[in-house]
Amino acid sequence: MASHRRPKQPSRTRVTVLTTAAAAAVVLSANAANAAPSEKLGKDEVKAKVDKLYEQAEQATEKYNGAKEKQQKLQKEISTIQDNVARGQQELNKLRDGLGSMATAQYRSGGIDPSVQLFL
């Protein structure tokens, strides 16, 4: 029953994370280019900056992973709902076919069956 599904599109989360990473790379490279050459950073200061950047990267990765898990969960829900809709549509089509056959038979016979008339 996979005929009703659309092709998977890139997730907004992935596009957002990649865009943010690209923007951060541009900003960091611009900051490195604008740094004053006379400014000398000590080994401890550089290590502190690198550690801070690693911490920020870890937080961003955790947010990305959380968003990805949520997206996967929602995708499963969508798939289940689409399958249910497809099954419901099949049932509706069967009922329509049955009703159409009954209507055709009544039209050919010239009216409603007396037992159905009594029921109504």
Q: Does residue 18 carry a pLDDT above 80?
A: no
Report DSSP state, residue 89.
H
Is 9 inside any structural domain?
no
The per-residue pLDDT for 64 is 95
The per-residue pLDDT for 54 is 93
Is 1 inside any structural domain?
no
- CA-to-CA distance for 38 and 42, rounded, in angstroms? 13
Is 76 inside any structural domain?
yes
Is 49 inside any structural domain?
yes
The per-residue pLDDT for 66 is 94
Output the CA angle 85-86-88, nearest 5 degrees.
Answer: 65
> What predicted TM-score, i.e. pTM, was given to this entire model?
0.45
Q: How many domains does the chain have?
A: 1
Is 70 inside any structural domain?
yes
| Range 80-104 average pLDDT | 92
Domain that holds residue 62: 43-119
